[in-house]
Amino acid sequence: HASAASFNNHWGVPLSLARCPASARFAVFEIGMNHAGEIGPLVKMVRPHVAVITTVEPVHLEFFGGIEAIADAKAEIFTGVERGGAVVLNRDNSQFARLRQNAEKFGIARIVSFGADEKSDARLLDLSLHATCSAVHASILGHDVTYKLGMPGRHMAMNSLAVLAAASLAGADLALAALSLSQIEPAAGRGVRRALDLDNGEATLIDESYNANPASMAAALSVLGQAAIGPHGRRIAVLGDMLELGPTGPALHRGLNEAINANRIDLVYCCGPLMRNLWDALSAGKRGGYADNAAGLEAQAVSAIRAGDAIMIKGSLGSKMKTIVSALEKRFPGKAARGEAAV
């Protein structure tokens, strides 16, 4: 059993618990927050045997004093872990030591780390990145495992280490869990790929319109940089505002220029007042177009696409980037690209 969609709040978590069959051997529940004090009550409903914190990043900064405060809010998950339970933490993350200290304070019996760091309990040994998948070689709690991951991106490979560590700690078959990762698919708006039919060929649409923050935006740009394109194709990013970042918002939007330059992105379209900061930082050759909002960018995005292109659309949910996805799908009906998922 697993939580559906993003059922991770005060409505979704109880509903996911209520839907859990009595016969389920394993259950996975997502617990989310954008304010301090929200995780504690929810985790005490779930009472997990294993808790995972994948990362701590500058998200919802509008409601926090800094990234350390975000780490402390996420550490509330430790308060509900069953006696004798375990936690899985990202050893590569800047907040690892703080989270480990919190876990020790709450008496967590076993603290397991994952990452590329050589001290990690679930350690990445080798990674081969491809346009639509990855090949991973890892050591998971002392067991050597090689597996195919059905979604591309280094960030997904790192997350898979946490998944396998948690599965092993919960008593699942590690080999079967690793094998199943080849079949993983993205949720709607989180990297689903679609082939768009143009008059003279196809283009690839990567729908990342569900949400965005600085970390997930950089990850999506990395995946776009790996995307296959045609002989005359381009990698195009269509980006909307990342919301709830507080006073750091303008600088974090400007900072995306580094990931754009590092990942061979050919053309960038921006919409929203915060994305104006990125637009101003872009080199002239990468500027595709700018609009005040997503609706104003629709026509530009539709007219820009040509055969061989890969176009990725991403922004916070409130930026309404789905309207651009819908416009492209309506103008260029195509088909889902099975096995070619981004994140």
Identify whether residues 283 and 162 lie together within a single domain: no
Rounded CA-CA distance 127/105 in Å is 35
Q: Is residue 6 part of a domain?
A: no
Last residue of a domain, one of 134, 157, 183: 183
Per-residue pLDDT in tens (0 to 9) along the chain, 343 residues? 999 988 999 999 999 999 999 999 999 999 999 999 999 999 999 999 999 999 999 999 999 999 999 999 999 999 999 999 999 999 999 999 999 999 999 999 999 999 999 999 999 999 999 999 999 999 999 999 999 999 999 999 999 999 999 999 999 999 999 999 999 999 899 999 999 999 999 999 999 999 999 999 999 999 999 999 999 999 999 999 999 999 999 999 999 999 999 999 999 999 999 999 999 999 999 999 999 999 999 999 999 999 999 999 999 999 999 999 999 999 998 776 644 433 2
Q: Is residue 3 part of a domain?
A: no
State the Cα torsion 52-54-55-58 to the nearest 10°: -100
Q: Is residue 170 part of a domain?
A: yes
Enumerate the H helices of 200-281 as residue ranges: 214-226, 249-254, 256-262, 275-281
Residues spanned by the domain of 82: 12-183
pTM score, whole prediction: 0.93
Query: For residue 77, what are the contacts with CB-CB under 8 A and spacing of at least 6?
Result: 31, 39, 43, 48, 51, 53, 87
Tokens of 331: 């103008």
Rounded CA-CA distance 328/96 in Å is 41
Identify whether residues 23 and 170 lie together within a single domain: yes
- Contact between 224 and 312 (Cβ < 8 Å): yes
How far does the chain reach from its first CA to its final CA, in angstroms? Answer: 22
CATH number of the domain enclosing 260: 3.90.190.20
Identify whether residues 23 and 172 lie together within a single domain: yes
Last residue of a domain, one of 183, 203, 229: 183
Residue 235, beta-bridge partner list = 310
Identify whether residues 179 and 202 lie together within a single domain: no
Say what angle helices 214-226 and 154-169 make with each other, to 10 degrees: 110
Q: How many distinct structural domains can be found in the chain?
A: 2
Identify whether residues 223 and 140 lie together within a single domain: no
